[in-house]
Chain A
Amino acid sequence: MLETKQNRSFIAYIVMSILFIISIIFNDFISIVGVRPDILLIMLLFFAFNERPIIVIIAAFCFGLLQDIFLPGSLQYWGLAPLFKTLIIYILLKLLPFIERLRGFYFLASVFSTILIYYIFYNLLYYSGYVKPLITFYRYSLPETAYTFLILLVLNMIFPLHNKNR
């Protein structure tokens, strides 16, 4: 049983790694009117529910660095992705005991909120100074959260985030 669970996690990570590589190479192709999903954030959420906290927090920082190196966006903001990925995953790990008790819709709503909070703060800084916060929210944060969450939902059907919520 344990072996099967480990195998499933391993396959899930491989699938997500492939998705990440595809998202790096075909960055423009996977965008829908300029909105792109964050595969690394999905991977981190899977890590958070299945791995030890210390591994998850290291992965959050490293994935943020990977994003800034392989998907550079603006010169000013190198370090923004590791900063917010580390912080959001730290908060998620602290709230994990409560989130793990939730079922079905409430569990997914909490995951959606985590992604949304990450995007709100990330985009608020990324577009600060030239896009108004409210416009940043509905033009970037909300669509990017929806796109990322949609991919997470599909993956969740094959590789459940959390065993109790299968």
Chain B
Amino acid sequence: MLSKLYDFIIRKHLEILTIIFVGVSLILLSQTENQAVLRVQSGWQDVSLFLKKPAAEQQHKKRVIEENKQLRMDIFRLNQEVARLQNLDTENERLREMIGFRDTSHYDLLPSLIVYKGYKNRSSVITIDKGQNEGILADDVIVDKEGLVGRILSSGKRTSIASMIIEPDIRVSVRINPSRVYGILKWHHGNTFVIEDIPTTIDIKPGWTVTTSGLSEVYPADIPVGVITTVLTSENGFTHMIEGNYNVSFKNLREVFILSHARNETK
């Protein structure tokens, strides 16, 4: 009996190995955000940073030169805007003090360079050049000047792996402004998102903005996410099917800001 089993294993060893490997692969496929894999990936990103960073910086440099031209033009316009806003800020501070409103909009942002943008196009995983040494931990939020980008999945000593919100599995608790209606946002395709299950009794219009709601433990309130482009009625007739565009151009991201929970709490 044992010799037959032994013969069978010897004869079919290739098939047996293939079945085992396919099984393990399928188990891996079912393990989203596997911490063991994330730790290995973080370790590798730490080790390879010294080679990846110069390459990423070189690529970034070309882009920076182009952006610099545009930014010089913007500076003049923004200086005018700043002067106007300073007046408004003073007035706002005075009014806030009057109503005892707590200012929650000042976050300590840490700039960071993207050193790896995923194996393929449309990848939602990125690696950035800041890690535990800078106080970055899992679930810290990543933003761009345009708005929300994603969150840190795992942080190594000098690098961190982050997931962008253009992942099919990711949901973000958001608020639609100015109606202040709460909803759950999920990625649709390309640079678009969808918000479902908002009752049709609530008026929603294209052009309205979407920001984080602050109801989530990860994302703080009032981070811009996108703009509504289409408001449809879903098949059941009771809810809206809201489509919109993200503010952030995920494809062209080269650098991001990290909104570290630990740093902001210390602050």
A69-B41, A75-B124 are known contacts. Are A83 and B14 too (CB-CB below 8 A)?
no
Contact B32 A75 (CB under 8 A): yes
- When distances are taken between beta carbons in the complex, the residues of chain B under 8 Å from A80 are 25, 29
Contact B24 A82 (CB under 8 A): yes
Contact A87 B122 (CB under 8 A): no
Q: Does A163 contact B (CB under 8 A)?
A: no
Q: Does A12 contact B (CB under 8 A)?
A: no
Q: Does B248 contact A (CB under 8 A)?
A: no
Interface-centre pick from B18, B116, B120 (highest chain A CB count, 10 A): B120
Contact A29 B55 (CB under 8 A): yes
Chain A residue at minimum C-beta to C-beta distance from B33:
A75
- When distances are taken between beta carbons in the complex, the residues of chain A under 8 Å from B122 are 127, 130-131
Report Cα–Cα, A71/B21, bound state, in Å.
20
A25-B52, A68-B37 are known contacts. Are A77 and B29 too (CB-CB below 8 A)?
yes
Name B179-193 residues within 8 Å CB distance of A.
Answer: 189-190
Q: B102-122: contact bitstring with A at CB < 8 Å (1 yes, 0 no)?
A: 000000000000001111111
Contact B118 A72 (CB under 8 A): yes
A72-B161, A79-B29, A130-B189 are known contacts. Are A27 and B21 too (CB-CB below 8 A)?
no
Q: Does B48 contact A (CB under 8 A)?
A: yes
A25-B48, A64-B25, A72-B41 are known contacts. Are A57 and B14 too (CB-CB below 8 A)?
yes
Contact B55 A28 (CB under 8 A): yes
Q: A44-82: contact bitstring with B at CB < 8 Å (1 yes, 0 no)?
A: 000000000110011011001001111111111111101
Contact B167 A74 (CB under 8 A): yes
Minimum-distance CB pairs A-B, first 8: A79-B28, A83-B25, A79-B29, A73-B119, A71-B119, A61-B21, A34-B121, A73-B123
Using CB atoms and an 8 Å cutoff, list the residues of chain A in contact with chain B. Answer: 24-29, 34, 36, 53-54, 57-58, 60-61, 64, 67-80, 82-83, 86-87, 90, 93, 126-127, 129-131, 140
